[in-house]
């Protein structure tokens, strides 16, 4: 299937519904490069505040609905950074976790011309906060291999409803082994992450 057909398949989903080795240095496509102050971002963090109406110590206090933020940076020289922030709030319990990984990224195409990138982490950090108590540690090699060595399908997208941002449609093929880039019927809307970044000023 040609790349343009893959994009059509992704858009249809949105509307209707690895090898463990370091890569050779792979140039990052100019269309996805970020700079020091920008990230490709997707977020589900809630802006809503929930008020506790139950009598007790936490009566009339408010909490965010929680959610998560995922960010990618793609840098010259085939480098990348990945960041994941998760917030879970319940009355009397505030939990936050951060995951950061960085390393090499390889941009390629499969036999049918579909755009793929693979991440090869070299180091990472986990930080966990529970009611103000912070735990911070480096990720082990095994953790990096199991959670950050990943393969993604990607395509740039112009969102007509948001002309202020550029979009990057991403499918995590490692997390969705049943997704076949060459079979659009295997791609479902819940597999597709819509990362965005502010359009560069001309």
pLDDT over threshold 90, residue 47: no
Query: Could you report the per-residue pLDDT of 99-137, keeping only the tens digit for each?
Result: 999 999 999 998 889 999 999 999 999 999 987 889 999
Q: What percent of the chain has pLDDT over 90?
A: 62
- Please state the pTM of the whole predicted model: 0.80
pLDDT for the residue numbered 143: 95
Cα separation, 92 vs 112, whole angstroms: 52
Cα separation, 151 vs 19, whole angstroms: 9
Cα separation, 65 vs 57, whole angstroms: 20
């Amino acid at each position: 299937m040609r790349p343009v057909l893959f994009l059509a398949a992704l858009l249809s989903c949105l509307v209707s519904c690895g090898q463990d080795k370091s890569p050779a240095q792979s140039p990052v496509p100019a269309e996805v490069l970020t700079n020091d102050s920008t990230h490709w971002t997707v977020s589900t963090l809630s802006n809503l505040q929930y008020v506790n109406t139950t009598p007790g110590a936490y009566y009339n206090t408010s909490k965010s609905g929680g959610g998560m933020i995922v960010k990618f940076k793609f840098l010259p020289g085939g480098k990348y950074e990945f960041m994941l922030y998760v917030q879970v709030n319940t009355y009397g319990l505030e939990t936050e976790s951060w995951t950061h990984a960085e390393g090499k990224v390889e941009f390629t195409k499969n036999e049918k011309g579909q755009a793929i990138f693979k991440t090869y982490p070299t180091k990472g950090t986990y930080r966990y906060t529970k009611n103000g108590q912070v735990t911070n540690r480096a990720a082990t090699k095994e953790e990096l291999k199991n959670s950050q060595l990943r393969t993604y399908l990607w395509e740039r997208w112009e969102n007509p409803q948001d002309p202020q941002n550029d979009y990057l449609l991403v499918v995590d093929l490692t997390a969705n082994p049943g997704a076949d880039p060459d079979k659009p019927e295997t791609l479902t809307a819940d597999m597709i992450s819509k990362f965005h970044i502010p359009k560069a000023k001309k």
